[in-house]
């Protein structure tokens, strides 16, 4: 089986994704936010932590006049969104954006359900399977799969065998989350049949890889409280920008 490290590959995919989203175009910026209020007049949103727009405003109001120029998903309070705009903020309470190019729906942050499913020991196979199932639903991984555990020595490893190739970015999101939520898990692997041959392709991500990818220290701490897990999920969505 050909095994690939995932960080370099994921970085390439992330760069391509940013370009495809139009975020590299001059005069175009974007940020992720949680929808906090919805009225007939528009939408109020709170940017994710570490978003650059927080230097200009902590709460953003999207008036109906701005939204009417773009297709907008049917949001509910608590939903997450990606907002593409021209980078200019109008001062006010709350602040508003001069021009909005697009508003996308992002995966909801099911931090409470995922936190309740966390698992201290990788040897608990049913708990591992439940957590993987929740994350697969969360990150929209539909490919059929089976699970294998290696607990004879460190790093304790979970391997997911897929019947077809999953999306690299979505599975990398899942792997980072699993490493945070399974206490003594040190590595996540996944493999799938190579196109046109019987050889399997494989990808691996360790705790250190995930910390490098997400630009944070001590990934395991993010699985200790629901609040810290929510911040981790925000960070994953912010860096990967994958819509539903």
Do residues 32 and 84 make contact, with C-beta atoms less than 8 angstroms apart? Answer: no
- 66 CB-near residues (< 8 Å, 6+ apart): 42, 96, 97, 99, 100
If one counts the domains in the chain, the total is 2
The CATH number of residue 75's host domain is 2.40.50.140
Q: For 10-65, how does the pLDDT look when each residue is reduced to its tens digit (9 = 90+)?
A: 554 554 444 444 444 446 888 989 999 999 889 999 998 878 899 999 999 998 88
Last residue of a domain, which of 86, 106, 126?
A: 106
Q: For 101-137, how does the pLDDT look when each residue is reduced to its tens digit (9 = 90+)?
A: 888 887 667 788 999 999 999 999 999 999 999 999 8
Residues 101 and 116 in one domain: no
- Number of Cβ within 10 Å of residue 148's Cβ equals 12
Do residues 106 and 237 make contact, with C-beta atoms less than 8 angstroms apart? Answer: yes
Dihedral (CA of 130, 132, 138, 142) sign: negative
Residues 156 and 185 in one domain: yes
What is the domain extent for residue 34? 22-106
Whole-angstrom Cα distance, residue 91 to residue 110?
Answer: 32
Percent of the chain surpassing pLDDT 90: 52
Residues 6 and 77 in one domain: no
């Amino acid at each position: 089986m050909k095994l690939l490290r995932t960080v370099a590959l994921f970085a390439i995919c992330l760069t391509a994704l940013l370009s495809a989203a139009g975020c590299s175009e001059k005069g175009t910026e974007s940020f992720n936010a949680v929808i906090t209020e919805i009225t007939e007049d528009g939408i109020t949103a709170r940017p994710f932590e570490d978003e650059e727009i927080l230097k200009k405003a902590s709460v953003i109001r999207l008036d109906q006049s701005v939204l009417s120029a773009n297709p907008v998903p049917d949001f509910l309070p608590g939903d997450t969104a990606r907002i593409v705009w021209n980078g200019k903020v109008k001062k006010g309470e709350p602040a508003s954006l001069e021009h909005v190019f697009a508003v996308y729906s992002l995966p909801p942050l099911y931090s409470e359900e995922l936190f309740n499913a966390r698992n201290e020991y990788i040897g608990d196979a049913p708990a591992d399977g439940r957590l993987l199932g929740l994350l697969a639903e969360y990150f929209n991984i539909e490919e059929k799969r089976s699970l294998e555990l290696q607990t004879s020595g460190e790093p304790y490893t979970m391997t997911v065998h897929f019947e077809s190739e999953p999306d690299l970015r979505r599975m990398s999101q899942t792997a980072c989350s699993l490493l945070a939520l399974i206490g003594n898990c040190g590595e996540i692997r996944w493999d799938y049949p190579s196109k046109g041959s019987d050889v399997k392709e494989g990808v691996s991500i360790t705790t250190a890889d995930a910390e490098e990818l997400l630009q944070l220290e001590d990934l395991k701490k993010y699985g200790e409280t629901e609040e810290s897990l929510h911040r981790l999920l925000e960070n994953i969505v912010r860096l990967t920008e994958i819509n539903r």
